[in-house]
Amino acid sequence: MLRLTNPVRHYDWGSAHALPELLGTTPDGRRYAEIWVGAHPAAPSVATQDGAPLPLDALVAQRPHDVLGPDVRARFGDRLPYLVKLLAADRPLSLQVHPDRERAARRHAEEVAAGVPAAERRYPDPWHKPELLVALRPTVALAGLRSPEEAAALLAGLGARAALDGVLDALLGPEPAGARLRAALGRVLALPAEAVAAVACALGPAPDAAVDPARDADPRRVAARLAASFPDDPGVVASFLLHPVVLRPGDGFAVGAGRLHCYVAGVGLEVMASSDNVLRAGLTPKVVDAPELLAVLDPEPRAAPVLRPAPVAAGAGLVTRTYGTTADEFALTVADVDAGAPATLSAAGCGPRTVVGLAGVVQVATRAGRCGLGAGESVLVPAADGPVALAGRGTCALVGVPAGAGAP
């Protein structure tokens, strides 16, 4: 079992208080956006091996058979296929989509063959990027396109029709719904700043930073949050094409390939396939590649279902909730523990398992040893360490690789 020290990412959209409060540390004025738990080469966790610190990606490369196990190596190569993050947002993250597996591999290979410098590639790696977010505090996001008729009615009611005529024409055209939504998003992304400003002015003041689950499903309220940080960004208008997703603690939602989405505000645990392939539509100072984004977009109107898994008694003093997704790279189980003696957990996937403390103190035990985790602390359990057992009093997240998933 490998205790991890995890890098903190400080971004402008982060929270000055949420993650320090989770960790039990004193805020220092910086914005804590993410804590990365994994072997991503840009910011790997650090493990201790033979008394010395070693980045987790280097450790995986040194001991792939022990850490990953033969099944995960055969399916994903000598790399940890998932990344876990603790995320806290006071401001919106970018509006974005992720490519599917086939497109990611093909477009990455094309850019490499064309000699595109690594720092300039739209596809930095050949992998897809399914994601799952579980709220730790009330959280609001945008995910899944509305019907074009719903989107048109919302935009027409803003009192800025002259600025949005082209978008409304696209939404109300004769084509199938998906084609209309793709065309409308293309027109939104081409809006001049003054058209976006006209919409922003119609929204009224921004709400407080704290998410209110009873009110934040209002699309105008969500758009006002976006406009407070990005008053002339087309993403403010694009938000009316999307469904707000309001999560209470314990709720989750999954994001698949082509699904336009944005995390607006809140605190959560995010699990994803380890990839950097992101195509942005707005709400960011980074590059927006509208043609490529529109090619990747899944344009069919479809809301993102909220995941509320039923609790399952998994042993004496152990209750689990497993969040089902179609991802091959990861499986997430959240465990509530109130047990004096270790109870073995059978639903943590196979191969390398990451355990992250969320509340209280949880004792993690394997045949290789035992370790206590407080909130924000984590361990990686190598495949060679065998089953995981939990004791103590608290809550933790366990991430593993689904057994028997298809090859990448």
The annotation places the binding site at 96, 98, 131, 261
Question: Are the CB atoms for 388 and 345 separated by under 8 Å?
Answer: yes
Of 396, 387, 281, 381, give the one whose Cα is nearest residue 338.
396
Distance CA 277, CA 281 (A): 13
User: What phi, psi does 148 have (nearest 5°)?
Assistant: -60, -30
User: What phi, psi does 150 have (nearest 5°)?
Assistant: -60, -45
How many other CB atoms are found less than 10 A from the CB of residue 407?
Answer: 7
Q: State how far Cα 37 lies from the chain centre.
A: 13
Strands 242-247 and 82-89 turn out to be unpaired
Catalytic residue among 146, 280, 321, 353: 280
Distance CA 103, CA 69 (A): 28
DSSP string, 276-293: ---EEEESSSS---HHHH
To 10 degrees, the CA torsion angle through 266, 244, 187, 172? 180
Structure tokens at 124: 């930095």
The SS3 assignment for 123 reads coil
**Tokens 């989750």 correspond to what residue?**
252
Angle of CA points 231, 234, 237, to nearest 5°: 90
Distance CA 403, CA 388 (A): 15
Strand runs (DSSP E) across 202-348, as ranges?
Answer: 242-247, 252-255, 261-273, 279-282, 312-315, 318-323, 331-345
Strand runs (DSSP E) across 177-260, as ranges?
Answer: 242-247, 252-255
Question: Are the CB atoms for 36 and 43 separated by under 8 Å?
Answer: yes
Q: Where are the alpha helices (DSSP H) in 77-164?
A: 101-113, 148-156
Please give the annotated binding residues for Zn(2+), written as ranges: 96, 98, 131, 261
Is 180 labeled as catalytic in the residue annotation?
A: no
Please give the biggest Cα pair distance in the chain. 68
Distance CA 268, CA 271 (A): 10
Q: Which residues are catalytic?
A: 280
